[in-house]
């Protein structure tokens, strides 16, 4: 998630998008009905109120009464309104950020400010609005700003253009940077999303300048970045842009752990993308726990509110973290093995029964003993080394299982999840190997 902090001198005194110059008032919280005073003294506020009122009235009418040629005319009018809405929104958001209004209202970011005043806008849309509004106030984006102000480039396309420009900016002079916008804008104005993506991809591929090696490497380092966005199913997509050195480190760390890992149950059915994601998480968890030795700290510190019935498995439902993310009770039970999880247990009347404890986590000494005794993941057929495994409670901690050596078993992240999902239990063979069964 992006947070924007800007010094006042980064913004010109006059806004790039002229329509914002007359914006004022406290918004539309008092209703959409405007009056002549608003329209005359505050044309932006009055105009938006009048438009909202007119559209609300139109939405209440019976559209089936429209003639055939009127249907298309209405759609064309709505498209024009949509473009004008984005023009005004970009201007007003730019003014708000330039005046530090989000900070004054106690918001953590410009996107949070926009979302609080635009309940119908999703988080991705709020971030796009802020990125485009801020960019349009900078001289280097004057061509793009003029196109957005004229309603010729929608916010979503402007945001895509800005992302591509950010990748090539380290390699260009100011004049080249502005000139490249002139090349892109005709496609952004009239082309399809697919055509715009193709042009932007070609632009990025052609961006390497004729500079000496040292300058180029410095430019590559300046081009590094990491972004995140929400996607369907409450998933989060992370996009990481690295220079060749950083990419080499990532590949060297991820590739060995992302190979298919068949076990006694059969082949590894995870896709290559899933295997790489699992490997990446494994590396992060390992690094946060203490690489190279038995962990002295847990993998994460998370406070989750969950009912006692959910935790012990008598009730389905979702827990909620302090950051607002929702997790299933099954996830809470699995994380309780390894994460520094502090469950806030609630009774039937939502009273706090317990603020959790940390005694459930295996100590460094217990981990070292498990490493020596079990050597690695105890799931049948798995060869994952011990240092990449979690200490799982054979009798789950949420079911009263103790954090004793005899109740702890090493499981890699993949099989740790499977054991919890299928509620498998360990069975020790005479040769001190294990089999996990229902």
pLDDT score of 180 more than 80? yes
Host domain of residue 117: 8-60+70-208
pLDDT band of residue 171 (cuts 50, 70, 90) is: confident
pLDDT score of 305 more than 90? no
153 and 302 within one domain: no
Domain limit, last residue, from 150, 180, 208: 208
203 and 56 within one domain: yes
pLDDT score of 237 more than 80? yes
Instruction: Return the pLDDT at 245.
Output: 61
Q: Among 273, 254, 256, 349, which residue's Cα sits nearest to residue 308?
A: 349
- Tokens standing for 311? 């935790």
pLDDT score of 34 more than 50? no
132 and 55 within one domain: yes
Between CA 343 and CA 333 the distance in angstroms is: 10
Answer whether residue 184 is part of any domain. yes
29 and 176 within one domain: yes
pLDDT above 70: percentage of residues in the chain = 69
Domain limit, last residue, from 208, 233, 253: 208
Answer whether residue 224 is part of any domain. no
Answer whether residue 237 is part of any domain. no
Answer whether residue 270 is part of any domain. no
Instruction: Return the pLDDT at 69.
Output: 87
Interval 397-424 mean pLDDT: 82
Work out how many domains the chain is built from and give that number.
2
pLDDT tens, position by position, 197-212: 888 888 887 765 544 4
pLDDT score of 226 more than 80? yes
Instruction: Return the pLDDT at 423.
Output: 86
Backbone angles phi, psi at 408, to 5 degrees: -115, 135
Alpha helices (H) in 290-436, listed in sequence order: 308-312, 329-335, 364-374, 413-422
pLDDT band of residue 24 (cuts 50, 70, 90) is: very low
Domain limit, last residue, from 181, 208, 235: 208
303 and 158 within one domain: no
pLDDT score of 28 more than 80? no
Contacts of 226 (CB under 8 A, 6+ apart): 238, 239, 240, 241
316 and 168 within one domain: no
29 and 112 within one domain: yes
Answer whether residue 339 is part of any domain. yes
370 and 290 within one domain: yes
Instruction: Return the pLDDT at 273.
Output: 85
The more confident residue out of 296 and 425 is: 425
283 and 203 within one domain: no
- Average pLDDT over the chain reads 75
Between CA 344 and CA 340 the distance in angstroms is: 13
Instruction: Return the pLDDT at 328.
Output: 59
Answer whether residue 52 is part of any domain. yes
Instruction: Classify residue 261 by its DSSP letter.
Output: -
pLDDT band of residue 148 (cuts 50, 70, 90) is: very high
Instruction: Return the pLDDT at 84.
Output: 93
pLDDT band of residue 316 (cuts 50, 70, 90) is: very low
pLDDT above 90: percentage of residues in the chain = 23
pLDDT score of 300 more than 90? no
303 and 190 within one domain: no
Alpha helices (H) in 225-271, listed in sequence order: 244-257
From the centroid of its chain, how far is CA 118?
19
- The residue written with tokens 């080499």 in the block is 248
pLDDT tens, position by position, 35-94: 444 456 788 898 999 999 999 999 999 998 888 889 999 999 999 999 999 999 999 999
Answer whether residue 22 is part of any domain. yes
pLDDT tens, position by position, 349-394: 444 334 344 445 677 777 778 887 888 899 988 888 887 788 888 8
- Helix (H), strand (E) at residue 302: strand 301-307
Answer whether residue 246 is part of any domain. no
Report whether 319 contacts 327 (CB < 8 A): yes
């Amino acid at each position: 998630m992006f947070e924007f902090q800007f010094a006042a001198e980064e913004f010109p005194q006059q806004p790039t998008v002229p329509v914002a110059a007359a914006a004022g008032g406290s918004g539309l919280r008092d209703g959409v009905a405007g009056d002549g005073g608003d329209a005359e003294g505050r044309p932006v506020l009055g105009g938006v109120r009048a438009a909202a009122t007119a559209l609300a009235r139109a939405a209440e009418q019976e559209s089936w009464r429209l003639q055939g040629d009127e249907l298309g005319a209405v759609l064309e009018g709505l498209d024009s309104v949509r473009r004008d809405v984005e023009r005004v929104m970009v201007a007003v958001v730019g003014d708000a950020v330039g005046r530090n209004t989000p900070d004054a209202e106690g918001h953590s970011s410009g996107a949070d400010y926009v979302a609080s005043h635009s309940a119908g806008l999703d988080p991705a849309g709020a971030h796009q609005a802020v990125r485009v509004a801020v960019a349009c106030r900078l001289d280097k984006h004057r061509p793009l700003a003029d196109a957005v102000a004229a309603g010729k480039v929608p916010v979503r396309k402007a945001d895509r253009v800005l992302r591509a420009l950010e990748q090539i900016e380290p390699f260009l002079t100011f004049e080249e940077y502005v000139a490249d916008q002139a090349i892109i804008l005709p496609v952004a104005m009239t082309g399809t999303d697919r055509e715009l993506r193709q042009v932007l991809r070609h632009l990025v591929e052609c961006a390497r300048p004729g500079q000496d090696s040292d300058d180029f490497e410095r430019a590559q380092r300046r081009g590094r970045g990491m972004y995140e966005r929400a996607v369907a199913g409450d998933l989060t997509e992370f996009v990481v842009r690295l220079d060749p050195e950083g990419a080499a480190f990532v590949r060297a760390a991820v590739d060995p752990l992302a190979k298919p890992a068949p076990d006694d149950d059969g082949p590894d059915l995870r896709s290559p993308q899933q295997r790489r994601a699992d490997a990446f998480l494994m590396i992060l968890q390992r690094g946060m726990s203490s690489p190279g030795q038995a962990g002295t700290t847990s993998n994460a510190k998370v406070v989750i509110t969950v009912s006692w019935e959910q935790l012990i498995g008598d009730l389905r439902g979702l827990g909620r973290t302090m950051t607002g993310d929702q997790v299933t009770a099954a996830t809470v039970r699995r994380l309780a093995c390894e994460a520094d999880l502090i469950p806030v247990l609630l009774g039937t009347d939502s009273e706090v029964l317990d603020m959790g404890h940390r005694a459930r986590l295996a100590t460094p000494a217990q981990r070292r003993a498990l490493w020596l005794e079990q050597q690695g993941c105890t799931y049948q057929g798995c060869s994952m080394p011990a240092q990449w495994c979690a200490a799982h409670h054979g009798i789950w901690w949420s079911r009263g299982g103790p954090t004793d050596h005899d109740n702890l078993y090493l499981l890699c992240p993949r099989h740790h999840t499977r054991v919890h999902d299928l509620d498998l239990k360990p069975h020790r063979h005479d040769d001190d190997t294990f089999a996990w069964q229902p």
